[in-house]
Amino acid sequence: MRVAFLVATEGVEQVELTEPWKAVGDAGGERVLVSTDPGRIQAFNHLDKADTFPVDTTVKEASAADYDGLVLPGGVANPDALRTDTGAVAFVKGFFDAGKPVAAICHAPWTLVEAGVLGGRTLTSWPSLRTDISNAGGTWVDEQVKVCTSAPSTLITSRKPDDLKAFNAAVIREFGG
């Protein structure tokens, strides 16, 4: 299982990156940190700077064909930056076009809205995204974790860091780890 973790150069909620990263690694998966630019990304604990992490590859160099699944960590600034980057949006859409599983937590579904992949899907997120998801054709639910198996690909979503245990279990199960 080879999993891409897509994050912007800054603004990712650290725990929403590190906990799924650990779960995929513990399940024997290969993890690849993909970002919009090379170098290091700056994670946050809410609004405070946290650790930095080395980027393995960029969206310009990566292809959905190279991975078995995609994890989109949240944070407010992270998906807001990703949804304005055409390469990042195309990378995300590539997983849906290929029928590969995608997991998104907290504010991460903003990038899915921009990719135009939510029509007919049921998902959860941080509550403030409800209207954006509905306007994009999705159905928003308030659940700890929601697995939507609508064709062509599986979508796993959760609301917030408190949901990480359930989110990680669903990611490992649905990604085949």
User: For residue 150, is pLDDT > 90?
Assistant: no
User: For residue 97, is pLDDT > 80?
Assistant: yes
User: For residue 50, is pLDDT > 70?
Assistant: yes
CA dihedral 42→74→164→96, nearest 10 degrees, is -120
Residues assigned a catalytic role: 106-107
User: For residue 177, is pLDDT > 70?
Assistant: no
Instruction: Please report the sign of the dihedral spanned by the C-alpha atoms of residue 101, residue 54, residue 114, residue 124.
Output: positive
Mean pLDDT of 18-46: 98
User: For residue 37, is pLDDT > 90?
Assistant: yes
User: For residue 151, is pLDDT > 80?
Assistant: no
pLDDT at position 152 is: 82
Percent of the chain with pLDDT over 70: 99
Domains of the chain, start order: 2-175 (3.40.50.880)
Structural tokens at position 84? 């304005």
DSSP labels, 27-70: TT-EEEEEESSSSEEEEEETTEEEEEEE--EETTT--GGG-SEE
Mean pLDDT of the chain: 97
Q: Provide the whole-model pTM.
A: 0.98
Buried b (16+ CB within 10 A) or exposed e, 146-159: bbbeeeebbbbbbb
CA dihedral 136→139→141→145, nearest 10 degrees, is -80
